Amino acid sequence: MSGAPLIGVDWGTSNLRACLFGADGAVLERRGSDQGIQRIETGGHEAVLSDLVDGWLPAGERPRILMCGMIGSRQGWREAPYAPCPAGLAEIAAALIPVDTAWADVWIAPGLSTLAADHRADVMRGEETQILGLAPEGGEALVIAPGTHSKWAEVNAGRVSSFRTYLTGELYELLSRHSILARLMEGDAPDAACFALGAERALAAPGLLGLLFSVRAEALFHHLPATGLAAYLSGLLIGSEVAEGLAAADPNVPILIAAAPRLGELYRTVLDLAGRPAAHIIDGGEASALGLWRIWEART
């Protein structure tokens, strides 16, 4: 077992990403597919995983596979109960759930849960691996993991102390495709000026519900081009998220972002407009790989 390779897997609702680690934690190869858990029938997870990592398996050796994300949800392969915050690498590593397979040794990492002072509960699966892959092991940081459900996590000495979820990405998808606002939109091409305008308005006057209809009104009066409305809506939503997130954050703590490059730059733009520049941006896939390796190394 000591010489068996480690394979890290980030298995979400829509996508599946895997990486093969070397003995020093360096990623030797990456693979991915669109076989997220929502596309797999009950009982089909093992076959999908086996196909994805085919060729990474040395003859006669059982690979070690560590998975994170929605694969550990009730809709996934096997449920991995949430680890309560505050939690770091040690707590997650101690709560790994084994999965029986004939050809590999497989574990699923738990997500995290938190309970705010007002008794509002929150949960995450997968983002905790990105956050702990990016966050420093010492000191404090505010880590933002944008996406369908954006996470803002407070990290102290390598442990997530609390976090909050924003439905930003999912709300953008719904509003830009299925609402009255979508009727006048033409495409979703980047438009830096329209995005910045939306972000500035959201930062200046927090209160998203009162701003959203301006997407339609600005188009009706030809103040904004139809091709820039999607960018304007994105600016409103991300601006509102940033305004709310920063209001609850320590102004002296550095901000880190784990996201795909284009999305990360949008958040960097809004943080700059808010006077809180992000100290570092790392691709979400790279952050997941770093986090999976760190969790594996934290096992006792």
Print pLDDT tens along the chain (300 aa).
445 789 999 999 999 999 999 999 999 999 999 999 999 988 899 999 999 999 997 777 889 999 999 999 999 999 999 999 999 999 999 999 999 998 999 999 999 999 988 888 999 999 999 999 999 888 999 999 999 999 999 999 999 999 999 999 999 999 999 999 999 999 999 999 999 999 999 999 878 999 999 999 999 999 999 999 999 999 999 999 999 999 999 999 999 999 999 999 999 999 999 999 877 899 999 999 999 999 999 997
- Please, are residues 93 and 80 in contact by the beta-carbon 8 Å criterion? no
Beta bridge partners of 99: 106
The amino acid occupying position 234 is S
Q: Which residues contact 221 (CB under 8 A, 6 or more apart)?
A: none
Beta strands in 69-213 (DSSP E): 83-84, 87-88, 97-99, 105-108, 112-115, 121-124, 140-145, 150-156, 159-166
Rounded distance between C-alpha atoms, residue 170 and residue 149, angstroms: 7
